Each structure stands twice: as C-alpha cells, then as structure tokens.
Amino acid sequence: MPDLSGKVAIVTGCASGIGAAAVRRLVADDAQVLGTDINAEAGQELCREIGAEFLQQDVSDRSRWSEVVTHAIDTFGRLDILVNNAGLVSGASIGEGSDEEMFAAWDHVIAVNLTGTMAGCRAAISAMVDNPGGASGSIINIASTTAITPLPTDVGYSASKAGVRALTKSVATWCAKQGHAIRCNAVIPGATETGILDATEKELPGFKAAVAATSPMNRLADPAETAAAIAFLASDECPFMTGADMLVDGGALSIHPGF
C-alpha cells in the first residue's frame, strides 16, 4: 500500500461513491484527510466514523474554496493532495426540453464538474506552492470514460468531463513549466457501483447490467478500485507522472464496440 503518512488531503464529494472510498483509502494509508460535500449529514457521518475532518462545500462556490483550503492548512499545517471528485449528471441530451431547461441543466453541471474542478486546482496550487519544504503536491481530478466516448444522452456531463481531462493537462504542464513539484493527473473511471447508477436503475430496470456489459470484464467497478488508483497518484511512487490519464474502466475503452 502507498505510504501517505505525513500527507494532508482534501477530497470533495466525500459523502458517497468514489469520494467516500477515496477518503477511506487515504485515511487507511495514513494521510490526514479533510472531506467536503454539499450533503453535510452524510459527509459528517462518514468522516466522524473514520477519523477525518469534514466541511460542507458547494464546489461551484468559488469563495468557499479559499475557506476550505485555509481550514486544511490551519488544521494540519500544509496541503499535499487534492482529489477533485465532486460531480453530477445533467441527464439532458442536446435536443431535449426547452431552451430554459437545457441551459439551466448545462450551466449547473458545468459549474460543478468543470468550473468547480478548476477552482479547486487554483486554490490548491496556491497552497501547495507555500508548503513547508517547498512547492509540492498531487492534484487528482476525477474525469470519466465519457470524456473520451461521450454520451448522446447527457451533453453537459460529457462536455464537462472532457473539459476536466483537458484542464488536467493544462494544469500539469503549467506547474511543471513553473518548476513546481506539483503534479496533476486525471483518473478516468468506467461504470462504477454508485448511487447515480442506482437511481437510474430504478427508472430504467436493466440499466446497470447493460452498462456493466460495456466492459470486457462484464461488471461494474467497486469504488474502492478507483480509490486505489487515487492513492497511487497521491503517493510519492510516481514522481514523473503528470498530465496523465489513468484508466480504471475494466477495459471498456480498449475494445472495439462491435465485439
């Protein structure tokens, strides 16, 4: 297991799914963790259970980011890891609904998934540059296979995750060019056993089985499997790895869709 002792992490969207698994894994690897989520009740319960700090946060609120990062530094003395995990789906295709409905869904998902991730990167870099011992850190942005193979049924989610992927590379190369030992990588999960899929399954019985079949492994990922990739990127095991896409998709993007 990666050794994260002495490292301080912020994980957004910590109340469920990949975010909850990431908090559990980073704490297990001896990091000190501040979890955030818009769902205060569930987030507090998780963090209390495993010994992490918690703050309520809407990642699309740019002013809240400075408060969250300041809290981490005031509590732990530094910031080494940011996991930009918070996100949502819009469930709207390009041709659905009225203009008012379409643009409201678009604006919301872009604000959370893409602008929230950018704001997190900016706030984290500012803190990581001032870390005791010099600029250092690891930013891990959670993208999606839809960043590469978009969904026709969700234009906002697909576009936002493609944006997260490009954002990651821009941030990574900017930090490197500045001479900062701050890495930025994207984790690209495939279909994962989360509450989002559970909700869709209720509306569309058989949806989860169909999604699982898109992977040659013919199953959904456990969130802990994605958390393992996050822990690796958070560690010092990969100091030359930045701007990368780490696929955790069960081979879904490695097979021709006809097979």
- Residue 176 included in any domain: yes
Residue 73: domain span: 8-192+222-247
- Residue 16 included in any domain: yes
- Residue 211 included in any domain: no
Number of domains in the chain: 1
- Residue 202 included in any domain: no
- Residue 26 included in any domain: yes
The per-residue pLDDT for range 96-132, each reduced to its tens digit, is 899 999 999 999 999 999 999 999 999 999 999 999 9
Average pLDDT over residues 6-20: 98
Q: pTM for the complete prediction?
A: 0.96
The per-residue pLDDT for range 188-214, each reduced to its tens digit, is 999 999 877 787 778 778 888 988 988
Interstrand relation of 32-37 and 245-248 (parallel, antiparallel or unpaired) = unpaired
Terminal-to-terminal C-alpha distance of the chain: 35
Active site residues: 157
Six-digit token string for 232: 């690796």
> What is the model's pLDDT at position 45?
98
For residues 11 and 214, which has the higher predicted lDDT (pLDDT)? 11
Distance CA 39, CA 184 (A): 26
- Residue 205 included in any domain: no
> What is the model's pLDDT at position 237?
96
> What is the model's pLDDT at position 114?
98
> What is the model's pLDDT at position 242?
98
Distance of CA 142 to the CA centre of its chain: 3
- Residue 1 included in any domain: no
CA distances from 251 to 16, 85, 87, 144, 227 (A): 24, 22, 23, 13, 17
The per-residue pLDDT for range 42-71, each reduced to its tens digit, is 999 999 999 999 999 999 999 999 999 999
> What is the model's pLDDT at position 257?
84
Distance CA 92, CA 99 (A): 11
> What is the model's pLDDT at position 207?
82
Closest alpha carbon to 158 in 210, 113, 206, 207? 113
Q: Is the pLDDT of residue 158 over 90?
A: yes
For residues 137 and 207, which has the higher predicted lDDT (pLDDT)? 137
Band of pLDDT at residue 157, cut at 50, 70 and 90 = very high
For residues 187 and 91, which has the higher predicted lDDT (pLDDT)? 187
Give percent of the chain with pLDDT exceeding 70.
Answer: 100
> What is the model's pLDDT at position 2?
84
Q: Is the pLDDT of residue 22 over 90?
A: yes
CATH number at residue 96: 3.40.50.720
Q: Is the pLDDT of residue 232 over 80?
A: yes
- Residue 216 included in any domain: no
> What is the model's pLDDT at position 150?
94
